[in-house]
Structure 1
Amino acid sequence: MELFSAWVTTMNEVLKTKEWYDILGDVYMSYLSGTMKKQWTGQFFTPKHICDFMAKITDPGENGGESVMDCCCGSGRMLLASHVLHPGNYCCAQDMDRICCLMTVCNFIIHGVRGEVVCGNSLDPTDYREGWKINETLNIIGIPSARAMKKEESFSYRSGMAMMKQIEVESAEVKTPAAVIQPKKPQEPIQYSLFD
């Protein structure tokens, strides 16, 4: 409880001068994730100023009410930066590291981000380990929330499966060519000279 209280107090102070702050990601990268783990897992969190820059140049969800996805979310920094620009969007986060997913859940709760966090490999839509719906009733009752989510409820899972089905349909429609075109025989190389 003391740690939670310290986290909330720190966030309240920092958010008076900044638009978003990821203390969990900073602590994780500095202390818990040593250099060997960084190299082994490839975990390198994007610096805050790069997240802000990327959110501005890609401008995801500029129309509001859209879904914005980060398929290797880490602690959710890119989505926090996006949320600051367009707070009405539905943020979808996914990562293979459960600790990263839980940091994202906490960041979504404290920043008032509405969305979902999925633990699984985003390159394989069938890899759904667990997921959480965040702040789904925040606009109705005003209380931050998180709950376990079944894969059938997940926007990320459903859209990934729909994309797989589309790929299967398109690959079935591709016809094999009637005749295989033989490549031309390469010509012998010609040596040029600068002085001739």
Structure 2
Amino acid sequence: MGYMMDAPRSVDPMIKILRDMGHYRFDPAEVFRDWIDFSVGCFLVEGDPALAKKLQEKYGKEYSKMNELMLAWMQIMDKQISDSSKSWFDALGTIYEYLASQKQRSWMGQFFTPPDLCDLMTQLSADTDIQPVGKRVNDPASGSGRLLLSFNAYNPGNFLFAEDLDAVCAKMSALNMAIHGCQGQVCCMNTLTMENWQFGFQINYFHRLGWPPIPHLQPITKEQSETLQSWEIKKKQLQSQPAAPTPKPVAKPIKTEVQAGQLTLF
């Protein structure tokens, strides 16, 4: 098999660009990680000029490939998403998994829930009579955001919240949710301990204010994270409740019975 020639056909246009850059001096996985940062900068309402300058210095003439990757992503999404059906597509997670399978990379150690299983879980958890609207739905280990993308495709009009400890995964979740028209928040943090805060984004906030449906992100602080706010409220409620009394041990009576000439004490 030739160099990166076995990629999934659905994302082949993006893999081709990564492959071309890989023929030079850049690791395709490293390019993909930088492109994720590049895309987040593109989606930020105020942009990220410092990041753009840093990437220009790193890639030189090859920096234009970042724009080519963005265009290829948009074309893939336009091809894969149908307005007439409950469709969604995770190109970012598909590429991530493919690159992770190529060779050992310590920072690419995840494989995500298959899309069909995401749709099955969505349908099993949905109310067949009432479509939820205005609900708050959370995925505390979002990966590339697939479960929330599926839920949004079947149940639009809800607020979605995603968290992941891995920075690349959190950014993929934010980009995926933004381009699929979701609204909510994505945070990079540890949801087991509610610690290790790194960063967060508000997703498509201005859509509710009548802005054109252009994907956009806004950075949020730890104090603006609704996930952490909800946890602080819950923690205070738990701390204010009186401790339950310790139950006194009850002596278990010894039962004796005779069976076949044996004495049983149990």
**Does TM-score exceed 0.5, indicating one fold?**
yes
Match of 2:237 in 1: 166
Checking the alignment, whether the CA contact within 8 Å between 1:125 and 1:161 is kept in structure 2 is: no
Q: 1:187/1:53 Cα in 2 relative to 1: closer, same or farther (>3 Å)?
A: farther
> Residues 116-131 of structure 1 correspond to what in structure 2 (within 5 A)?
116-131=185-200
Q: 1:185/1:36 Cα in 2 relative to 1: closer, same or farther (>3 Å)?
A: farther
CA RMSD in angstroms, aligned pairs only:
2.9
> 1:18: how far off?
6.8
SS in 2 for 1:141: coil
Match of 1:8 among 59, 74, 83: 74
> Residues 53-68 of structure 1 correspond to what in structure 2 (within 5 A)?
53-59=120-126, 62-68=131-137
* Alpha-carbon displacement from aligned partner over 1:71-112 (angstroms, at most 9, x marks no partner): 100000000000011211000001111100000111011111
Distance across 2 between alignment mates of 1:151 and 1:184: 56
Distance across 1 between alignment mates of 2:151 and 2:117: 12
Distance across 2 between alignment mates of 1:166 and 1:36: 45
Match of 2:205 among 136, 145, 162: 136
SS in 1 for 2:235: helix
> 1:41: how far off?
8.3
> 1:180: how far off?
3.2
Is the aligned partner of 1:85 residue 2:154? yes
SS in 1 for 2:137: strand
Match of 1:106 in 2: 175
> 1:12: how far off?
0.6
Letter in 2 for 1:129: Q
> Residues 69-80 of structure 1 correspond to what in structure 2 (within 5 A)?
69-80=138-149
Checking the alignment, whether the CA contact within 8 Å between 2:222 and 2:228 is kept in structure 1 is: yes
TM superposition score normalised by structure 1: 0.83
Match of 1:24 in 2: 92
Greater Rg by CA: 2
> 1:185: how far off?
5.8
Q: 1:183/1:9 Cα in 2 relative to 1: closer, same or farther (>3 Å)?
A: same
Checking the alignment, whether the CA contact within 8 Å between 2:144 and 2:169 is kept in structure 1 is: yes
Letter in 2 for 1:150: T
SS in 2 for 1:131: strand
Checking the alignment, whether the CA contact within 8 Å between 2:145 and 2:172 is kept in structure 1 is: yes
Distance across 2 between alignment mates of 1:148 and 1:77: 21
* Alpha-carbon displacement from aligned partner over 1:141-173 (angstroms, at most 9, x marks no partner): 113210111122221111122222233234x43
Residue identity (%): 33
Match of 1:194 in 2: none
Match of 1:94 in 2: 163
Is the aligned partner of 1:146 residue 2:213? no
Q: 1:183/1:162 Cα in 2 relative to 1: closer, same or farther (>3 Å)?
A: farther
> 1:32: how far off?
3.1
